[in-house]
Amino acid sequence: MPHLFFQIASVLVLATVLGILARSLRQPLIVAYIFTGVVISYLGVFRGVGQNVFDLLSNFGIAFLLFLVGIDLRIEDLKYVGRAAIYTGLGQILFTTLVGFVIVSALGFSVVAAFYIAFAMTFSSTVIIVKLLAEKNDLQSLHGKIAVGFLLVQDFVAILTLMILSGFGKGGEAPNLAAILLIFAKGAILIAFTYIVSKYALKSVFRLVSSSVELLFVAAISWAFIMSALAEQAGFSVAIGAFLAGVAIAASPYRIQISGRVKPLRDFFVVVFFILLGLTLSKGTSGLVASHIIILSVFILIGNPLIAMAIMMTLKFRNRTAFLASVTVAQVSEFSLILMATGARLGQVNSSEVALVAAVAIVTITLSSYLILYGDKIYKYISAPMAKLFPEKQHDPYVANRENLKDHVVLVGGEQMGWDILDFLKGKISDHDQIVVVDFNPKIFNSLKASGFNAVFGDISDPEVLEELELGRAKLLIITDPDISDSHQIITFARAKNYKGPVIGTSYWIHDAVKLYEMGADYVVVPETVGGKHIARILSEHWDNLGKMKKDKSKHFEELLAHKIF
């Protein structure tokens, strides 16, 4: 046991050192973690049980990550991006498989091995992309939601493939059709079970334990582990069970507290996953050919984004959205490695072919991390040539009656805080076309339109959306989006358009509020401090009779129901 703890300590110390180096060089931490695995694979740090323990920790990382993806999943958003997700996900799989098969066959591989390698390279890493998008605060953006959508489509195809392969025996005998149908039936039962429990039992359980944050956390983790165990018993991966567990919590009022408590666990275990990814190069490297790795890596880095972009442009998405979503498919997934390992177990591919896909995965993950993290900056340089390659079709204008906008108010974010602001503005501005509200939530957008406001359905980080707001002629800019990077972009853009009016911003944290003032905001609302002052006022009003607060409960409850947007 002491030897095991020394192994873990050594690996984490090395990851920390490389992480500090990566941060000082402004490189993504994922690269540091992957190279940690590469280094320890050649140093021979692992021996026996140490490898098994790290495998277990890595699986926890994937499970916790998909658990949080499920919690943050909004079905109404997926309804909007569903068509793009399905077409892009399936189209990219088909393209990469067909073209990849031709390329891999031309490199001298057998038909079976070429198909395995080509098909394995079709999948992009949900683990990595979600982590990078979260680091950029882009998970709730339009391109972020589309990317997560087609990643889920890819993961579904990967899971179906692994189900089918599970019907093969050693040596690749034909699968038992009845066994495959049984697995599909088990999947349907698992989903139905998740739905029933979430609807009739989970809410009551969480309400019972919600008085203790610690107990709420334990209950949520217990639920995730129960679903993971059931999924594993049904022949699925534990990560699929964790994902379904997260989806069941997505509509719960306690999801924010649960998500906040689980994130530190996810961050630690996902680090182990990336380290083990680097470790995969330690097997079968003797049969690797550098030119093969380069050719296939270039194909993934260029071919996959191009086909994804072409599909999205066909679906009439704007160039910027199509580009930022498409660069997320420029790497090989953890499912690819699982698929190749399954093929090796069945005797259909050898260790060198598995190592080839692992090497391509490391190269593409490393390079695509930069594409994702610096996608906005890259797009600025390639937007002109991309416009020639993918001519942008005419779109309906984002803003209605844009030519008539003058001395108007621009409100970024129409959710609860924004709705309360609109209650005030509609009493001051009779022409609601002069109240421009930007939001990406489809239900909020439809509610704003129905209320007669000049609603804009778009991603505020998109310069094309900002361009149509006519900020240079506006008299007031209010930003309820607490993302400081979005606020910085909006303020910078407004000042560049010679906007002279006041800027009201929002920030969850005091240090971000200070930064917003430094960026040029005229007033910054910090909900935490406002909430504290409000509670202090309530206490002051009821201090002589604290029991009266309970009597006011029903009145406040009714007020909250009346303020629901949808």
Q: Quick one: 376 and 406 in the same domain?
A: no
Q: 524's torsion region: left (phi>0), alpha (psi -120 to 50) or beta?
A: beta
pLDDT at 279 over 50: yes
Asked if residue 317 belongs to a domain, the reply is: yes
Q: Quick one: 385 and 406 in the same domain?
A: no
Q: Quick one: 368 and 482 in the same domain?
A: no
pTM beyond 0.75, yes or no = no
As to burial, measured by CB atoms within 10 angstroms (0-12 exposed, 13-18 middle, 19+ buried), residue 292 is buried
- Tens-digit pLDDT profile for residues 367-403: 888 888 888 788 878 777 777 776 665 555 567 677 7
Q: What is the pLDDT of residue 281?
A: 60
For residue 234, what are the domain limits?
2-389
Q: Quick one: 466 and 516 in the same domain?
A: yes
Q: Quick one: 128 and 182 in the same domain?
A: yes
Q: What is the pLDDT of residue 460?
A: 75
Q: Quick one: 55 and 107 in the same domain?
A: yes
Last residue of a domain, one of 525, 541, 561: 525
Give the span between the Cα atoms of 437 and 398, in whole angstroms: 11
What is the layout of strands, in order, in the sheet containing 523-525?
Answer: 454-457, 435-439, 409-412, 476-479, 503-506, 523-525
* Mean of the per-residue pLDDT values of the chain: 78
Asked if residue 172 belongs to a domain, the reply is: yes
What residues have CB less than 8 Å from 496, skipping those under 6 apart? none
Q: Quick one: 175 and 71 in the same domain?
A: yes
DSSP secondary structure, 85-112, as one string:
HHHHHHHHHHHHHHHHHHHHHHTT--HH
Asked if residue 475 belongs to a domain, the reply is: yes
Q: Quick one: 334 and 262 in the same domain?
A: yes
Cα distances (Å, whole numbers) of residue 124 to 6, 96, 418: 34, 11, 36
Last residue of a domain, one of 357, 389, 421: 389
User: From the CB of residue 355, how many other CB atoms can be counted at a distance below 10 Å?
Assistant: 21
CB 332 within 8 A of CB 299: no
Of 365, 336, 335, which Cα lies nearest the Cα of 274? 365
Last residue of a domain, one of 389, 421, 446: 389
pLDDT at 360 over 50: yes
Q: What is the pLDDT of residue 164?
A: 63
Asked if residue 556 belongs to a domain, the reply is: no
CATH code for the domain in which residue 115 is found: 1.20.1530.20
- Tens-digit pLDDT profile for residues 234-276: 777 677 788 788 888 877 777 777 877 777 777 777 777 777 7
Asked if residue 539 belongs to a domain, the reply is: no
What residues have CB less than 8 Å from 43, skipping those under 6 apart? none
- Tens-digit pLDDT profile for residues 433-452: 888 888 877 677 778 888 88
What residues have CB less than 8 Å from 495, skipping those under 6 apart? 520
- Tens-digit pLDDT profile for residues 456-511: 877 777 777 787 788 888 899 998 887 787 888 888 888 888 888 899 988 888 88
Strand partners, 435: 409
Q: Higher-confidence residue: 472 or 34?
A: 472
Asked if residue 558 belongs to a domain, the reply is: no
Q: What percent of the chain has pLDDT over 90?
A: 2
What residues have CB less than 8 Å from 520, skipping those under 6 apart? 491, 495, 503
pLDDT at 566 over 50: no
Q: What percent of the chain has pLDDT over 70?
A: 82
Q: Which of 41-45, 94-98, 128-132 has the lowest mean pLDDT?
A: 41-45
Asked if residue 566 belongs to a domain, the reply is: no
Q: Quick one: 407 and 385 in the same domain?
A: no
pLDDT at 425 over 70: yes
Q: Quick one: 483 and 385 in the same domain?
A: no
CATH code for the domain in which residue 451 is found: 3.40.50.720
> Phi and psi (nearest 5°) for 465?
-70, -45
Mean pLDDT for 214-231 is: 86
Number of structural domains (the chain) is 2
Asked if residue 560 belongs to a domain, the reply is: no
Q: At what angle do helices 49-72 and 126-135 cross, to 10 degrees?
A: 60
Q: Quick one: 260 and 409 in the same domain?
A: no
Of 181, 173, 191, 253, which Cα lies nearest the Cα of 220? 253
pLDDT at 49 over 50: no
User: From the CB of residue 529, how many other CB atoms can be counted at a distance below 10 Å?
Assistant: 12
pLDDT at 105 over 60: yes
Q: Quick one: 282 and 162 in the same domain?
A: yes
